[in-house]
Amino acid sequence: MGDRSVYRSVGQKEDTDGIARRVAQITVSAIKQMPVLASKVEGCISLGQGIPSFETPSFIREAVIEALRSDHAIGKYSLQPGLSELRIEIARHLQQTKGIRIDPEKEIFVSCGAMEALAAATATIVERGDEVLIPSPTYSSHIEQILFAEGKPVFVPLIEDQEWKLDLEGFKRAITPKSKAIFLCNPMNPTGAVFSQEELETLAQIALEHNLFVINDEAYDFLVYDNLPYFSLTSIPDLKKNLITTYSFSKMFCMTGWRVGYMYASARIVDQVLKVHDAFAICAPRVSQYAALAALKATNGKDGEGDRSIQQLVARLASRREIACQRLNNLLHVFSYIKPRGAYYVFPKIMIKEMGSMDVSLDLLYEAKVITIPGSGFGPSGEGHIRLSFGATEEEINKAFDRIDIWAKNYR
């Protein structure tokens, strides 16, 4: 059995004397802590962090290799908001996928992953004491980003027994004079829910009625199963003045390590967020911007190399989703679950009465050698659940579930 106290010490029990409150009060998310703990346990299989098992497609890597050879500027800063050519490609891509016309000069900036854009956007609009309405469970880093900006996350529980739907009445009830923004992620990490057009239009209406910003994380917009229609908040023209949307190259092109994403918002907001981007990053890594450019240039929504790689990725993740769900069907005495509709996570409810999410995750780590993420890291309604990612290979997923099957026999 490993040292369970270690887990709590990461980001919580450290010496915070003299450390600013905004930093002392936040933690490294459980998503990142579990792999750190697991690095000390030999032979683990990961259903933890959301990293697709696939390599960055070779056409992207080849384009970067060529640029490394021939482009003398590749080691230099780019323009602070990102390479102009890349912003033009991003605008074209958003026009193609969302049907929206965008000014690439003024309404987009390229960030160090979606994460930096989300943190910079939150820091730009949230100040001490501002309330930010956020579904629970939700992606852990959104919570830390609000806290870092010294805002107050106001959790609005999702409706679990209705496939994790938004509780729109709950959002209305949660609004106070201090409400500043709504923070949303669609498709949802960790539940795998995909919100409907009707839900999102109502949410937008609520935001507009109360003049709230909406920070909208669409890192998984391409990853929806069963031909379910996908609706983006960016398609609501009236919301544009209040909306900040972020996208990522990490998942769509298997580029988690390149650290490149972007933000789309009105020029007024982009201008302000760029000040934070300058203070924290200057610009996204130029070499990664070249990779992003190669990715989008090959993606025309039909038959480009990029399109084929995305189609393949979605098909393979869809079959991994089936495997994960079939294996969970044999574990219903320990986990009940809702089949995810998007992203590559499933968020089962723990059916073992005496165990919380941390107990289960640590047990699985030390006894079954399977990395999972405790639901407590995803907001108050995450407790009582664990998050499993099915980004790993089919073989790894099956092996991990073989181990979980053996572990679960303790609870027959």
Ligand X SMILES: Cc1ncc(COP(=O)(O)O)c(C=O)c1O
Interaction site with ligand X (CB under 6 A):
50, 113-115, 139, 185, 189, 217, 219, 248, 250, 256, 261
175 versus 391: smaller Cβ distance to ligand X: 391
For the bound state, the minimum distance from the C-beta of residue 397 to ligand X, rounded and expressed in Å, comes to 18
For the bound state, the minimum distance from the C-beta of residue 59 to ligand X, rounded and expressed in Å, comes to 20
For the bound state, the minimum distance from the C-beta of residue 193 to ligand X, rounded and expressed in Å, comes to 12
For the bound state, the minimum distance from the C-beta of residue 99 to ligand X, rounded and expressed in Å, comes to 23
What H or E segment, with its residue span, contains residue 349? strand 349-350
Give phi and psi for 376, each to the nearest 5.
Answer: -60, -20
253 versus 335: smaller Cβ distance to ligand X: 253
**Which residue is nearest to ligand X, using beta carbons?**
113
Give phi and psi for 329, each to the nearest 5.
Answer: -60, -25
71 versus 396: smaller Cβ distance to ligand X: 396
33 versus 175: smaller Cβ distance to ligand X: 33
Q: Calculate the CA 263 to chain-centre distance.
A: 14
The one-character DSSP state at 224 is B
183 versus 407: smaller Cβ distance to ligand X: 183
Q: Is the alpha carbon torsion for 323, 329, 333, 335 positive or negative?
A: positive
For the bound state, the minimum distance from the C-beta of residue 355 to ligand X, rounded and expressed in Å, comes to 26
User: In whole angstroms, how far apart are CA 268 and each of 38, 106, 264, 383?
Assistant: 44, 8, 11, 39
Q: Calculate the CA 352 to chain-centre distance.
A: 28
For the bound state, the minimum distance from the C-beta of residue 249 to ligand X, rounded and expressed in Å, comes to 7
374 versus 407: smaller Cβ distance to ligand X: 374
User: In whole angstroms, how far apart are CA 35 and each of 52, 63, 75, 327, 362?
Assistant: 15, 31, 31, 23, 12
For the bound state, the minimum distance from the C-beta of residue 115 to ligand X, rounded and expressed in Å, comes to 3
Give the pairing of strands 45-46 and 370-371.
parallel
For the bound state, the minimum distance from the C-beta of residue 183 to ligand X, rounded and expressed in Å, comes to 11
- The upper half-sphere exposure of residue 230, i.e. CA atoms within 13 Å in the direction of its Cβ, equals 23
107 versus 217: smaller Cβ distance to ligand X: 217
The one-character DSSP state at 32 is H
Pairwise CA distance, residues 409 & 402, whole Å: 11
Spatial neighbors of 85 by CB under 8 A, at least 6 apart, are 293
Cβ 120 vs Cβ 280: under 8 Å: yes
130 versus 218: smaller Cβ distance to ligand X: 218
Pairwise CA distance, residues 150 & 145, whole Å: 9
140 versus 331: smaller Cβ distance to ligand X: 140
Pairwise CA distance, residues 148 & 158, whole Å: 24
For the bound state, the minimum distance from the C-beta of residue 248 to ligand X, rounded and expressed in Å, comes to 3
Question: Tokens at residue 309, please?
Answer: 């790689």
Cβ 246 vs Cβ 116: under 8 Å: no
